[in-house]
Structure 1
Amino acid sequence: MKKYTIRRIIFEYALITVASLILIIGVYFFKFPNHFSFGGVTGLAVVLSAVTSLSASTLNFVINMLLLVLGFVFLGKSFGIKTVYVSILTSVGLSVMEKIYPMSKPFTNEPVLELIFAIVLPALSSAILFNIGASGGGTDILAMILRKHTPINIGTALFLVDLSITIAACFIFDAQIGLCSICGLLAKSLVIDSAIENINLCKYFTIICDKPEPICEFIHKELMRSATIFKAEGTYAHQQKYVILTVMKRSQAVQLRNFIKMNQPMAFMMITNSSEIIGKGFRGLN
């Protein structure tokens, strides 16, 4: 169990590091140069960089460090180490990128194309982090403080903060940037939800067959999964059938489907998408 725990911790922090790097790429190369400001600390940094002499990367670092201090003051031990790690890694990463690869203008002359990357990459990063119980820091720290010390509806409060930042961008920058920022704000949560659902997507099989043993053996030995089996009766011919229930990842589902089609072509399969599988081998009960 100790070795398993260590491996799991290493895997989680490796995943957090990858997600943070994706966030850094999306923000530094696509969000900052185009002045897209659809909420969060990075959006606030973009807006403030337009009215101060500091760069967006520097402001992002300063704001995140201030929020970390507030987190330690108001949350104490309940302040997650993963959130601290992500906040420091992304803040330092953006500052380092500014030194080694300074950008004075966007990559392309296509703001809509760059807006897509500015939305999708950070949203994918957020989905990965949320999926393993971490967060991107920034305004998430404010959410944690509000949750603990006030009765304010956190979702509404954070949306109003993001909306205020986006509206400010409309006045500080030109109409094109303002409209792109509004589109980014509207699309951000949808992309995050879609990414989380696809990351967790599994296939739920309901298999009705005459000979369950070969199928169950394939599930156990080849796919390293388990299954539930029970007897049933067809309503038309009143013949005895067996129903197998099993859940697995998408790549395994293809193997199982092909095996059944080849070895028991008369078996009846119902395959359903599911992104909420809770239990051993999938998501923990906590």
Structure 2
Amino acid sequence: MPKYSEFFALQKTKMCIFTQPIDHIMNNVLRYLGTFKFWKELFIMTLGMAIAAAAVYYFMIPSKLVLGSISGLSIVISNLFGLAGINLKVSVVVTAINAILLILAWFLIGKEFGAKTVYTALILGPLLEFWEKVMPYDKLIEPGMNSVMGEPLLDLICFVLVVSISQTILFHINASTGGLDILAKIVNKYLHFDIGVSVTVAGAIICCTAFTINPFRMVVIGLVGTWMNGLAIDYFTASINKRKRVCIISKDYERLRDYIINTLHRGCSLYEVKGGYSGEVNVEIQALLTQDEFANLMNLIRTEKIEAFITAGNVSEIYGLWNDQKSRKGRSRM
């Protein structure tokens, strides 16, 4: 009997050791589900995907535009099955292809990106069905027209503008619309291309498949649209990430330094500079600020009538500890 007791005790110990990591993971997941950040990002992802689904349903599907996206590839596959007498919805093809690409996202990009993209990719198909039930595109197409806008180029411009906004919103919170955005993100991460360039390269390959269902003119329009999509993403991304590099020369530099560090919670650098004409020695402050922070700083200078020489330029990319330092300073003051 003692031997059996020892055996079961050993098995129980092994089971406890095995379940501890699972319990730890579940506790972390449940803790994250209760945070404001989770619900905020969930709302942003849902909104972004609703915008993307509307762009696909109202502009891409009716005009049979094949741009560099999984939706474009899905249209090709759906039409090929239609020629064979098989009715296969675009939404079904989108969901199936996304499920395959999600595995790549999980292992090659990261768990956070993978988990978010799982959600965005899986809701694209249902959101296409949602727009179909809410407002079928047939009701928006005027008699004698084949698409909502009635002209492939106009459909292309509308699609690119709307879907680029959606992609930019999702990339900003480390998510994506799924599909070829996953491949673009992989290229961006490992080859360090701009995300817009990555989208263009990956999308151009898909555009070539449109030869099977569209005339040459439509394929060229699709390639142009893919290129425009990449440019639009880079533009919107740069606008969201835009920061101000501010250089200030003033005798009241201590007041400005104190405001930047203790009120804006940003770092700054001090340089001793000498005027080329007057030979006067002054102190220059340099700082990287958001648009709102720069506006607050300028308001302080105007309100307190601080005499200063100020230059400011836009910076679209920042690497390093810029945001981390602000987070730590903010927490230390709470």
TM bucket normalised to smaller = 0.7 to 0.9
Higher relative CO (Cα under 8 Å, sequence separation at least 6) belongs to: 1
Task: Say if 1:215 and 1:169 are closer, same or farther in 2 by CA, change over 3 A.
Answer: same
Does the alignment pair 1:250 with 2:250?
A: no
Does the alignment pair 1:7 with 2:36?
A: yes
For 1:50, the equivalent position in structure 2 comes to 79
Q: Which moved more, 1:266-275 or 1:46-55?
A: 46-55
SS at match of 2:64: coil
How far is the alpha carbon of 1:276 from its aligned partner?
Answer: 1.7
- Give the AA of the match of 2:279: H
The 2-side partners of 1:35 and 1:64 are apart by: 20
For 1:18, the equivalent position in structure 2 comes to 47
Alignment of 1:1-286 (within 5 A): 6-51=35-80, 52=82, 53-68=87-102, 71=104, 80-104=114-138, 105=141, 106-141=147-182, 162-219=203-260, 223-260=264-301, 263-264=304-305, 266-278=307-319, 279-281=321-323
For 1:150, the equivalent position in structure 2 comes to none
How far is the alpha carbon of 1:56 from its aligned partner?
Answer: 2.2
Task: Say if 1:236 and 1:137 are closer, same or farther in 2 by CA, change over 3 A.
Answer: same
TM-score, normalised on structure 2?
0.68
Q: Which has the higher helix share?
A: 2
The 1-side partners of 2:154 and 2:303 are apart by: 45
| Conservation of the 8 A alpha-carbon contact between 1:64 and 1:91 | no
TM-score, normalised on structure 1?
0.78
| Conservation of the 8 A alpha-carbon contact between 1:38 and 1:182 | yes
Task: Say if 1:107 and 1:74 are closer, same or farther in 2 by CA, change over 3 A.
Answer: same
How far is the alpha carbon of 1:199 from its aligned partner?
Answer: 1.0
Structure 1: gaps (5+ residues): 148-152
SS at match of 1:245: strand
Tell which structure's C-alpha radius of gyration is larger.
2
How far is the alpha carbon of 1:43 from its aligned partner?
Answer: 0.5
The 2-side partners of 1:231 and 1:90 are apart by: 56
- Give the AA of the match of 1:55: K
| Conservation of the 8 A alpha-carbon contact between 2:160 and 2:225 | yes
For 2:13, the equivalent position in structure 1 comes to none
Task: Say if 1:229 and 1:9 are closer, same or farther in 2 by CA, change over 3 A.
Answer: farther
Deviations 1:248-272 (CA, angstroms, capped at 9, x unpaired): 1123323433543565574211101
- Give the AA of the match of 1:237: S
| Conservation of the 8 A alpha-carbon contact between 1:119 and 1:188 | yes
How many residues end up aligned between the 2 structures?
Answer: 278
Structure 2: gaps (5+ residues): 1-30, 142-146, 327-334
The 2-side partners of 1:146 and 1:215 are apart by: 42
How far is the alpha carbon of 1:41 from its aligned partner?
Answer: 0.9
How far is the alpha carbon of 1:190 from its aligned partner?
Answer: 1.7
